[in-house]
Amino acid sequence: MRPTMLTRRLTLEEVTRQPDNAGGYTESWSELGTHWAEISSGTGRAREVPAATMSYVPYRITIRAAPVGSPSRPKPGQRFRDGSRLFRIEAVADGFRGGFYLECFAKEEVLS
């Protein structure tokens, strides 16, 4: 087994919704903190959507473990930011490599 290399600094973000005074809401993302991570990519896919092609690439993002309920523990619906790249978190698994790390399963969406 190769050692885990946490060499990428990622920002964890959570969506916040504000009323728009017209019966709807606007979404904005707020920063929750930073994590050092290792990112591994999977096999990409493309899907046709109206007027564009949406491509998806699954990623496995490994970070140091955080206890359940901790605000620094990622959860589905949040995202990681690496500069202009965004990784939407779909699932989080713990107990990886002796309980010292969390595995975050995410997708990077790129509109082309």
pTM across the whole model: 0.82
Residue 98, pLDDT score: 74
Domain that holds residue 38: 26-111
CA pseudo-torsion sign 101, 32, 89, 35:
negative
CA 69 to chain centre: 17
In a domain, 5, yes or no: no
Whether 14 is covered by a domain: the verdict is: no
Contact 57, 107 (CB under 8 A): yes
By the 8 A CB rule, do 13 and 29 touch?
yes
Q: Cα separation of 7 and 33, whole Å?
A: 16
Q: What is the pLDDT of residue 111?
A: 56
pLDDT tens, 56-104? 789 999 999 988 888 889 999 999 999 989 999 999 998 666 788 999 9
Is residue 17 in a domain?
no
**What is the structure's pLDDT at 101?**
92
pLDDT tens digits for 2-60? 788 899 999 999 999 888 888 888 989 999 999 999 999 988 777 777 777 767 789 99
Domain count of the fold of the chain: 1
At residue 96, the pLDDT reads 66
∠ Cα 50 30 37 (to 5°): 85
Of 44, 42, 38, the closest CA to residue 82 belongs to 38
For residues 63 and 11, is the Cβ–Cβ distance under 8 A?
Answer: no
